Amino acid sequence: MRDNVPETTGLATYNFAYLDEQTKRMIRRAILKAIAIPGYQVPFASREMPMPYGWGTGGVQVTAAILGPDDVLKVIDQGADDTTNAVSIRAFFQKVAHVAVTTKTREATIIQTRHRIPEGKLTEGQTLVYQVPIPEPLRFLEPRETETRKMHALEEYGLMHVKLYEDIARNGHIATTYAYPVKVEGRYVMDPSPTPKFDNPKMHRSEALQLFGAGREKRIYAVPPFTDVVSLDFEDHPFEVQKFDKPCALCGAENVYLDEVVLDDKGGRMFVCSDTDHCEDRREHGHAGHMLANKEAAE
Amino acid sequence: MTPLLKVNDISKFYGSRVGCRNVSFELWPGEVLAIVGESGSGKTTLLSCISTRLMPTSGTVEYHMRDGQYRDLARMGEAERRFLMRTDWGFVHQNPADGLRMTVSAGANVGERLMAIGDRHYGKIRETAIDWLQRVEIDESRIDDQPRAFSGGMRQRLQIARNLVTSPRLVFMDEPTGGLDVSVQARLLDLVRSLVHDLGLSAIIVTHDLAVARLLSHRMMVMKDGVVIEQGLTDRVLDDPREPYTQLLVSSILQV
């Protein structure tokens, strides 16, 4: 890879995409294994990255391992392209790999994400890389790693429903709203990382390859394209996604995931698309929500 | 009728120390067997070997499966063994915290086994849980409380309900009344006795308390230094002990 980098790029101290080639090879092996066994957590020798744990060290390593010079990278944090985490990871790869970056979902070949799946439909050839804090869906119910591994191996997933049962018993409905457990290809129960459960249906038979990296926990798992991803539920309490009363205040989009923005200290608030690219795209195409209209009228 | 469980010549050694040695017996459907003896006599080791929680050094345990076949438990795959343990068997620990999930509600504790074997209807699971709480005399209103909020006796009853919900055929109990005060013990024993009778359960009960054995069991085995020194019908052994050690044991019961 190093040969591909022009000498004028100032990359002399780093290998392409920061990690050395042996490390990338090790991670690629783990990724291949993960793709071969959808939903299975593959252990890998996670490296220290020049950012703290919790900032997406797992996702960054996966991205670094699959990134090529021709890729176009998009990084989102809670759906937004312009928050600290997204900006710094994007800048990191610009610096160490000189890849093209974008904020447009359609143009990206690799999208690294923290806790959202873009609203626009992902297509064949795109790869979504998730940053995962705790890969083990059974962890908060069963603290022993030896035991959870055995439970995965023997497909003993009754405990996962115990959690959902507790939700209903306490709140009258399944109150888990993020990191909602899914069953992949009828076999492994998987934590879809802390994405809102709103995004769970988008994982089902997605055309894009989905890779999950957990740096601190040293696990990689994957959902290959066109794989069944089914959210767990009860027959009399079926899985449901969040619903919002109002459309996005800026672009008027409905059936998208909205963020609440506090406007002042008098109770003013607005709900806007969490996916900033989707929102901008719609506004460029002439869609307008009620707050946007107000703003223009004021000007 | 055929035996439910055949134990052939089980021995367990911890290095050069003896856990239990050359124990053989058969357990029949509907029979309650008590294993008694002093601390360190190998009762719990024997129970662990039979219930596959420990691998015996030598000997076999055969179980009469629901399909009518005898299977050697040591030769079963782990998946099959664990499935057997959570459907056809129950295990009641001395300390309820070992057998319960202390951080989830009583209802979920009872329902866990049902969900593990594929029940996916919340309403039905809850109905079954309520039914079982009533059968072990826990008020229906406590269904959403965590076992942490329960008294020792209630926890033990909850543990029993959790084990019996899948209608097992064989239940292991390790000192089920240990640590409970006498009146609670009496109530629990009464409950266990009626449940065992109503459900036609087989049970193996490990206890150092001869009164428990007298009340619950049909047959008993007396252990000393890892060896079964005397066995027979409970009333026979307690009323007419033959071995000097058993005589000593029986005569040590406190009379009030």
Q: How far is A129 from chain B (nearest CA, A)?
A: 32
- Mean pLDDT, residues A168-191: 94
Cβ contacts of B107 on chain A, cutoff 8 Å: 165, 169
CB contact under 8 A, B108 and A166: yes
- Per-residue pLDDT reduced to its tens digit, A73-124: 999 999 999 999 999 999 999 999 999 999 999 999 999 999 999 999 999 9
Taking all residues of chain B, what is their mean pLDDT, rounded to a whole number? Answer: 92
- Per-residue pLDDT reduced to its tens digit, A223-274: 999 999 999 999 999 999 999 998 999 999 999 999 999 999 999 999 999 9
List, by residue number, the catalytic residues of A. 39, 248, 251, 273, 279
The structure tokens 């926890």 sit at: B155
Considering only CB atoms, which residues of chain B are within 8 Å of chain A?
78-79, 82, 101, 104-105, 107-108, 111-113, 115-117, 120-123, 125-126, 143-144
Q: How far is B12 from chain A (nearest CA, A)?
A: 25
ipTM of this model? Answer: 0.86
CB contact under 8 A, A161 and B120: yes
Say yes or no: A173 contacts chain B, CB-CB below 8 A: no
Q: How far is B113 from chain A (nearest CA, A)?
A: 7
pLDDT value at residue A1: 46
Give the fold, CATH level 3, of A2-231.
Answer: Rossmann fold (3.40.50)
- Mean pLDDT, residues B151-179: 92
Cβ contacts of B121 on chain A, cutoff 8 Å: 234-236
Query: What are the angstrom distances between the C-alpha of A142 and each of A136, A147, A149?
Result: 10, 7, 10
pLDDT value at residue A141: 85
Domain boundaries, chain A: 2-231, 258-298
Q: How far is B197 from chain A (nearest CA, A)?
A: 30
Say yes or no: A154 contacts chain B, CB-CB below 8 A: yes
- From the list B79, B112, B113, the residue facing A154 with the nearest CB is B79
Best interface-test mutation with A: which of B78, B120, B130 has the largest number of A CBs within 10 A?
A: B120
CB contact under 8 A, A165 and B123: no
Q: Which helix (H) or strand (E) holds A169?
A: helix A158-171
pLDDT value at residue B209: 87
Tell me how far apart the alpha carbons of residues A141 and A214 are, in angstroms, rounded to a whole number.
19
- Render chain B in DSSP notation, one character per residue: ---SEEEEEEEEEETTEEEEEEEEEEE-TT-EEEEEE-TTSSHHHHHHHHTTSS--SEEEEEEE-TTS-EEEGGGS-HHHHHHHHHHTEEEE-SSHHHHS-TTS-HHHHHHHHHHHTT---HHHHHHHHHHHHHHTT--GGGTTS-GGGS-HHHHHHHHHHHHHTT--SEEEEESTTTT--HHHHHHHHHHHHHHHHHHT-EEEEEES-HHHHHHH-SEEEEEETTEEEEEEEHHHHHHS--SHHHHHHHHTSPP-
Polymer length of chain A: 299
Say yes or no: A170 contacts chain B, CB-CB below 8 A: yes
Tokens representing A236 are 């009399």
The structure tokens 């890729």 sit at: A71
**A295: confidence class by pLDDT, cuts 50, 70, 90:** low
Tokens representing B189 are 């024993």
Dihedral of the alpha carbons of B132, B135, B141, B142, in degrees to the nearest 10: -70
Taking all residues of chain A, what is their mean pLDDT, rounded to a whole number? Answer: 91
Cβ contacts of B115 on chain A, cutoff 8 Å: 158-159, 161-162, 165
Task: State pTM to two decimals.
Answer: 0.85
With pLDDT > 90 as the criterion, what percentage of chain B qualifies? 78
- Mean pLDDT, residues A209-222: 97
